[in-house]
């Protein structure tokens, strides 16, 4: 029989903190490259981290905002260029 975690201890908190940081990093990178993939990934990771109650709530909210900004930048550049891809 395996021992269980104490009742007051939250398990998996490092996972949610990692998701919050990853959403921030992916959202930031998405502003530069591959925003069609990195933006939605940042949004999903931030949402899951917030739903699970991360201790890094601010980082998750920044990741969420950057993920949305990635998609907005993509939409604006697609309208300006007329294609799904864009270049400088």
Output the six-digit token pair for 47. 């949402």
**Which band of pLDDT confidence, cut at 50, 70 and 90, is reported for residue 10?**
low
Say what the alpha-carbon torsion angle 9, 12, 18, 22 is, to the nearest 10 degrees. -140
Output the six-digit token pair for 66. 């950057």
Whether the Cβ atoms of residue 7 and residue 44 lie closer than 8 Å to each other: no
pLDDT (0 to 100) of residue 66: 94
Asked if pLDDT for residue 61 goes beyond 80, the answer is yes
pLDDT (0 to 100) of residue 27: 93
């Amino acid at each position: 029989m395996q021992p269980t975690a104490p009742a007051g201890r939250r398990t998996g908190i490092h996972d949610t903190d990692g998701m919050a940081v990853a959403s921030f990093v992916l959202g930031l990178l998405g502003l530069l490259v591959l925003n069609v993939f990195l933006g939605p990934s940042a949004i999903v990771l931030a949402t899951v981290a917030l739903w699970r109650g991360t201790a890094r709530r601010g980082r998750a909210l920044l990741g969420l905002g950057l993920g949305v900004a990635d998609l907005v930048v993509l939409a604006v550049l697609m309208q300006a260029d007329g294609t799904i891809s864009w270049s400088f």
